[in-house]
A and B are shown apart, each in its own frame.
Chain A
Amino acid sequence: MKKLFSPGRRDYTISFGIVILAYLVVQAMILTGNITSSFKGQLVPICAYIVMAVSLNLTVGVLGELSLGHAGFMSVGAFGGIVATTALADAIPFAPLRLAVAMAFGGLLAGIMGVIVGVPVLRLKGDYLAIVTLAFGQIIMNIVNVLYIGRDARGLHFSLLEQRFELGEGGKMIINGPIGVSGVSKLSTFTAGFLLVLATLLLILNLLHSRTGRAVMAVRDNAIAAESIGISITRYKLLAFVVSAVFAGMAGTLYAMNYSTVTAAKFDFNTSILVLVFVVLGGLGNIWGSIIAAALLTVLPELLRAVNDYRMLLYAILLIAMMLFNNSKLKERLLAGRHREVE
């Protein structure tokens, strides 16, 4: 019994319990028709943002390095996944399986990008590291923006900057430069999103409570001390960063497959920041905080729809107010009061 209630276990139970419960409640709402169409449209993005927030938390909260370019990995996963589903349209007719393969491919591409970005970036420290991740995010967005990929009977065609290939009979553009992707079949479903969230949680929570996870946290808390007991800083930093990129890539595939048109500009600096806001508001290193913050803050602008014009203004004010409250004496006093009651 004691083991079941150790902090780690409780974190597990709460996270999975809440996610499964939320899924069941929403499914029930869909079945009974008690759901607005705008909220229904938000379900897959919520799942994608939850995975984004949890994965970014691995970099920012657990590894302790500020990343401002997480949307870049999402972008790689999104467009990689779209290319994979289009290329495999005939080979795998079963849509959920095709989505899963696309996600794996998107995750793999993002992971490779994670290595490419991570090796130079993780040599830097603090704000300099942050600005270089921002720079990589912008570079990825810029390059995807001038990427042309088409498919015809002969196979896939790539070019950069302008379309330098002619498509044969029955050929189709998959990524059309700044216009992006259009006319993709929407494969993502709420259930697929839910399964991805579950898989992410299972993997990341297990990682955190493993030897590897503790090594990553040791690097965060004191790199020099960690190194002195034989933990390879570079290795664990890169590992956390790449795992984080892989999940962001999968979230990207899920997100992109929910829309029929996607452009590179969707995955810009603002998206990176949005996810960072989820992570910080949810609490650094706190996985289930990330889940709740991502879900609530994605729905919040919808909930504020009643005040229409002022909703983004209110969102901003709420954001500032929450940050101020989180660090205020008032919260300390409230928490202190609660602890006394428990005693």
Chain B
Amino acid sequence: MAFLNNLISGISLGSVYAIIALGYTMVYGIAKMLNFAHGDVIMIGAYVSFCATSYLELSPLLSIVLAAAVCTALGVVIERLAYKPLREAASLAVLITAIGVSYFLQNAALLLWTANPKSFSSVVGAGSVSLFEGGLIISHVTLATVAACIIIMIALTLFTGRTKMGTAMRAVSEDKGAAQLMGINVNTTISVTFAIGSALAAVAGVLLCSAYPLLVPTTGSMPGIKAFTAAVFGGIGSIPGALLGGLMLGVIEIMSRAYVSMQLSDAIVFAVLIVVLLVKPDGLLGQRRNEKV
């Protein structure tokens, strides 16, 4: 039963990673950049939700909507100001700019909310469901996280597959120039991608802090790196890959924490990633790109 409990908390953590990884993977697929500031957008989302519930006394659901709105705006503004001028630049230049944005967000949060940890109260309450006469305990946060992940996955798959904007996104990620020739507004498409990714980051931030309630300006860094790893794990640019990568990463992390070593869990997660990439260099669900001479 302990195993099942661990598996469930692994899936719960993995769902959060998956939601964050979706943001990475979509932005990578379209803008071909590693958005290192994504982890810090998560942190901003969590802070906004925290402020909305504790200072403005809004309902938890409304606080999530507010956090998503703020992060969406933030994501679009960041893209316009920092990334758009560099669209033709070398990918390393964009990477360093993203790191600059990440520093900026962390330090802005440090000034706004200080380094004192805020204790985040769960948006779905502290209750839990107990099955098998208390042998299996699933908290409401876990249920909400997994449900949110499933809903987001379905919605995104439908969005990219069925809508005009989604088709545009796939076209831009395939070939920016050709997409433009077909009358697709590349700038709008990239903005929408950042907007969706950042809104997802806000949701992920709220869910993450509901499960692990200490909120500091660096809250987003480590989950950001892990989710980025998850995105690569599953094959960066692939939406089902992000889900698979996130879930696997979460489960491996919790399992190694429970059965191998608390301190070495991160090392094990990264070691598995290395092994996977050596066997499948494009990630689990990534597409093989053939090299042309």
A residues apposed to B, CB below 8 Å: 60, 66, 120, 123-125, 127-128, 130-132, 134-136, 138-139, 142-143, 145-146, 161, 178, 224, 269, 273, 276-277, 280-281, 284, 309-310, 312-313, 315-317, 319-320, 323-324, 326-328
Known: A312-B103, A316-B103, A320-B104. A284 touches B92 (CB 8 A): yes
- Contacting pair B270 A136 (CB below 8 A): yes
B residues apposed to A, CB below 8 Å: 28, 34, 82, 85-86, 88-90, 92-93, 95-97, 99-101, 103-104, 107-108, 110-111, 221, 225, 228-229, 232, 236, 261, 263-264, 266-267, 270-271, 273-274, 277-278, 281-283, 291, 293
- Contacting pair A135 B273 (CB below 8 A): yes
**Nearest CB in chain B: distance from A305 CB, A:** 15
Complex CA gap A231/B203 in Å reads 50
- Contacting pair A280 B267 (CB below 8 A): no
Complex CA gap A10/B279 in Å reads 46
Complex CA gap A138/B291 in Å reads 30
- Contacting pair A142 B86 (CB below 8 A): no
**Nearest CB in chain B: distance from A222 CB, A:** 9
Chain B neighbourhood of A309, CB < 8 A: 111
- Contacting pair B103 A319 (CB below 8 A): yes
- Contacting pair B263 A161 (CB below 8 A): yes
**Nearest CB in chain B: distance from A224 CB, A:** 5
Chain B neighbourhood of A328, CB < 8 A: 85
Chain A neighbourhood of B103, CB < 8 A: 312, 315-316, 319
User: Would you list the 8 A-B pairs with minimal beta carbon distance, nearest first?
Assistant: A135-B270, A316-B104, A142-B267, A316-B103, A319-B100, A320-B100, A327-B89, A313-B107
Chain A neighbourhood of B228, CB < 8 A: 131
Chain B neighbourhood of A130, CB < 8 A: 34
Complex CA gap A134/B95 in Å reads 14
Chain B neighbourhood of A281, CB < 8 A: 96
- Contacting pair B273 A224 (CB below 8 A): no
**Nearest CB in chain B: distance from A61 CB, A:** 9
- Contacting pair B270 A138 (CB below 8 A): yes
**Nearest CB in chain A: distance from B37 CB, A:** 10
Partner among B104, B111, B283 whose Cβ is within 8 Å of the Cβ of A317: B104
Complex CA gap A42/B5 in Å reads 50
Known: A145-B263, A316-B104, A323-B100. A124 touches B281 (CB 8 A): yes
Chain B neighbourhood of A319, CB < 8 A: 96-97, 99-100, 103
Chain A neighbourhood of B86, CB < 8 A: 323-324, 327
Question: Taking CB as reference atom, which chain A residue is nearest B271?
Answer: A139
Chain B neighbourhood of A178, CB < 8 A: 263
Chain A neighbourhood of B221, CB < 8 A: 269
Chain B neighbourhood of A145, CB < 8 A: 263
Secondary structure at chain A's binding surface: helix, strand, loop or mixed?
Answer: helix
- Contacting pair A132 B273 (CB below 8 A): yes
**Nearest CB in chain A: distance from B279 CB, A:** 11
- Contacting pair B263 A146 (CB below 8 A): yes
- Contacting pair A316 B267 (CB below 8 A): no
Complex CA gap A120/B271 in Å reads 12
- Contacting pair B266 A138 (CB below 8 A): yes
**Nearest CB in chain B: distance from A47 CB, A:** 23
**Nearest CB in chain B: distance from A275 CB, A:** 12
- Contacting pair A161 B261 (CB below 8 A): yes
**Nearest CB in chain A: distance from B103 CB, A:** 4
Question: Taking CB as reference atom, which chain A residue is nearest B97?
Answer: A323
Question: Taking CB as reference atom, which chain B residue is nearest A323?
Answer: B97
Partner among A60, A125, A146, A326 whose Cβ is within 8 Å of the Cβ of B93: A326
Chain A neighbourhood of B111, CB < 8 A: 309-310, 313
> Could you list 8 examples of A-B contacts with CB < 8 Å?
A60-B92, A139-B270, A146-B264, A161-B264, A309-B111, A312-B107, A324-B85, A328-B85
**Nearest CB in chain B: distance from A212 CB, A:** 24
Question: Taking CB as reference atom, which chain A residue is nearest B293?
Answer: A224
- Contacting pair A324 B264 (CB below 8 A): no
Chain B neighbourhood of A269, CB < 8 A: 221, 225
Complex CA gap A316/B236 in Å reads 27
Chain B neighbourhood of A315, CB < 8 A: 103, 107
**Nearest CB in chain A: distance from B247 CB, A:** 18
Complex CA gap A288/B229 in Å reads 33
Complex CA gap A316/B103 in Å reads 6
